[in-house]
Structure 1
């Protein structure tokens, strides 16, 4: 890897990338290796990705990797409740930048449901999606790739919002406050995302560095649960029994 790696015995492993291009290559390598390992052990592999601009360069590398993509199932960590042709749709980004070339053979499992299936609102979607996600995807997921917003959110886990800890796979999220896109969302839960065999957080930009440094403080050096509530990304970084790999590039 073209990175500097910093780790601690019981916390996340941080990979400090020289630039966004080398970061994209390094993350793609780790994702591809996680999928190869899964496919060598099981009939199918599950890849969970996050939307936004950060993973686009990585997707464009990953989609050309020589894998048996026909045995890979791909879904999102969260989705804005808009149709795939809406500019705010994460599904639209994935279809455009990941499900191309070799990865076009992968099976896509969407989170968004059209109005004729969901009644037009996200509130009914979790009940309808839960059995579909449970039956079509392998849990725990083989690779989960998360991002982080400048406010410390990940997936659609926003500061101060309660998260389900009852084992469900997904839940509805009200429209968040600006500067996040103000539309309702469907998010995978801690139970779905934090049990991953390979858990990765990819982020870029100096505007996120201070938040990341705060989130990387070990639990015993913080004010406890209140910091976790303010910075939901900590749920991923310090997930019990899981080594989270954090890839950061300043720009």
Structure 2
């Protein structure tokens, strides 16, 4: 695993946003369009704010999510709400956004529409930015969920699955492991010593069901982007 360490989160946000913009520009230059798959939470908010001001033809960029809570897009728990507030503004307001939450009442019923909408996103994904929870989950591939076997199954037939974590609220929609790995550039974006300690634990073990981030690290070239 390649590692890029920055002195602090501010420098990380400034430099990493430039790196992402460059990769998206490369995708536009080569294919006329580029795709950016992002994760939710608080960690990427500053990064998104920097990225939203990147000099880029954002009308040729498609943004989507690695996972989403099955809540309305107006809910504070919604990853879509966070992305719209912090990334899809300024210059990046012109980007196309493909959300995961749809009109289905239950997440299980919403999988088919998510799969259908995937055709709007250029693949393989140009840039995938993953986070990681303290339990070693990434996207919504939770070790505590009954669906973790499906999510980590490289032969699982659908790119999305509905997930119910036992240790977190809300049903989720998540890209499967195989779908996540269908990316040209995969970054693991972490800040703080606590998350670094979780990553060190993940790197020291083998059980993917205990810490699903291991499944990504084992099968793909992942670059860690980290600041204390």
Normalising by structure 2, report the TM-score. 0.93
Match of 1:43 in 2: 32
Offset at residue 144 of structure 1 (A): 0.4
Maintained 8 Å contact 2:102/2:113:
no
Maintained 8 Å contact 2:24/2:127:
yes
Residue in structure 1 matching 2:186, options 187, 199, 206:
199
Maintained 8 Å contact 1:49/1:77:
yes
Instruction: Return the index of the structure with the highest Cα Rg.
Output: 1
Maintained 8 Å contact 1:74/1:109:
yes
Maintained 8 Å contact 1:47/1:75:
yes
Match of 2:217 in 1: 237
Match of 1:33 in 2: 22
Match of 1:237, SS state, is: helix
Match of 1:131 in 2: 116
Offset at residue 167 of structure 1 (A): 4.4
Q: Distance in 2 between matches of 1:189 and 1:30?
A: 26
Q: Distance in 1 between matches of 2:72 and 2:194?
A: 30
Structure 1 stretches of at least 4 aligned residues deviating more than 6 Å after TM superposition: none
Maintained 8 Å contact 1:50/1:145:
yes
**Structure 1: which 5+ runs fail to align?**
1-11
Q: Deviations over 1:177-211 (max 9, x none)?
A: 33x3x100000111221121011110112222221
Summarize the alignment of residues 204-219 of structure 1 with structure 2, pairs less than 5 Å apart.
Answer: 204-217=191-204
Offset at residue 150 of structure 1 (A): 1.0
* 90-99 or 17-26, larger mean C-alpha shift: 17-26
Residue in structure 2 matching 1:60, options 38, 49, 57:
49
Normalising by structure 1, report the TM-score. 0.84
* 89-98 or 18-27, larger mean C-alpha shift: 18-27
Maintained 8 Å contact 1:47/1:141:
yes
* 153-162 or 92-101, larger mean C-alpha shift: 153-162
Q: Distance in 2 between matches of 1:23 and 1:236?
A: 22
Maintained 8 Å contact 1:148/1:203:
yes
Give the length in aligned residue pairs.
222
